[in-house]
Amino acid sequence: MIALITGASSGIGEATARRLAREPGAQLVLVARREERLRALAGELGGDVLVIAADLTDEAAPARIAAAVQERHGRLDLLVNNAGAGWRGTFGDVGTANLRRTMEINLDAPARLVEALLPLLRASAPSAIVNVASTAGRVARPGSGAYSASKFALIGWSDALHLEEKPHGVHVGLVNPGFVATEGFPQAELVDSFATRWMVSTPEKVAEAILDAGPGGKAERYAPRPYRLAALARVVMPGLTRRVLGSGGGAVLGTSTGADAADRAAR
């Protein structure tokens, strides 16, 4: 199985690479901006690992990645669109500039990568795409509107893509993580309090969900599974959900959207 994972330099992407490396015959392609991280991981995993350092928001990145995969393997069985980021702030404070940069990495980048790799995925069918969205793509919280907008959009696009690619033998799975402590999303406020620590999951649990949504797998997985109740509550009890999120719940949960490493380094 040839599997490409974006955002493999940390968090959920790194855990997914480690998990996929244990699959028999797995040959990985790791993509992110921090090349040294990818090379260190590739060295640790051993075997046939292709490292591609790329900023996925660069215009030329998808074509360069597709050419490298075509040249090295001539096929692709699994594409995991995991790279993503979020920057906190109310719309009144951070405005459309924040919306634009968030949509660029969380929606445009995976869509452009799928566009470039779809011919190879179809030619390799049965194959799969797994898009890592978020429970925030079902329920929006104060302070993370741009992030939620990008993940709502990613989910809508993935749902359509699932139906469109089925006849071509490309399974499209969706994974919606809940709160997961990673570099980009440390969830510090939740982890620091005994009352909320239980809500925070691990990248390894999400990696298992990504496998579940991979080739021949599920159309959608929440990780951990109980987070689907939050999505359900938003649909069946919208008023109550808004009241909870607009009060103390919103204040706590609204602090959880992180920034990417470059942004954190700049602060």
**Residues designated as active site:** 147
Residues binding ligand NDP (CB under 6 A):
6-7, 9-13, 32-34, 37, 55-57, 82-85, 105, 132, 134, 177, 179-180, 182-185, 260-261
Residue among 7 and 145 whose Cβ is closer to ligand NDP: 7
Picking from 32, 43, 30, the residue whose alpha carbon sits closest to that of residue 78 is: 30
Q: How many residues does the chain have?
A: 267
What values do phi and psi take at 246, rounded to 5? -85, -15
CA 106/CA 129 separation, integer angstroms: 15
The CA-CA-CA angle for residues 228, 138, 86, to 5°, reads 115
Strands of the chain, DSSP E: 2-6, 27-32, 49-53, 78-81, 127-132, 170-177, 220-223
Shortest approach of ligand NDP to residue 57 CB, angstroms? 5
Give the distance from CA 71 to its chain's centroid: 26
CA 82/CA 19 separation, integer angstroms: 14
Q: Is 265 exposed, middle or buried (0-12, 13-18, 19+ CB in 10 A)?
A: exposed
Residue among 166 and 229 whose Cβ is closer to ligand NDP: 229
Residue among 6 and 127 whose Cβ is closer to ligand NDP: 6
**Interstrand relation of 78-81 and 127-132 (parallel, antiparallel or unpaired):** parallel
Shortest approach of ligand NDP to residue 17 CB, angstroms? 10
Residue among 32 and 253 whose Cβ is closer to ligand NDP: 32
Helices H, strands E: what count in the chain? 12, 7
Residue among 10 and 158 whose Cβ is closer to ligand NDP: 10
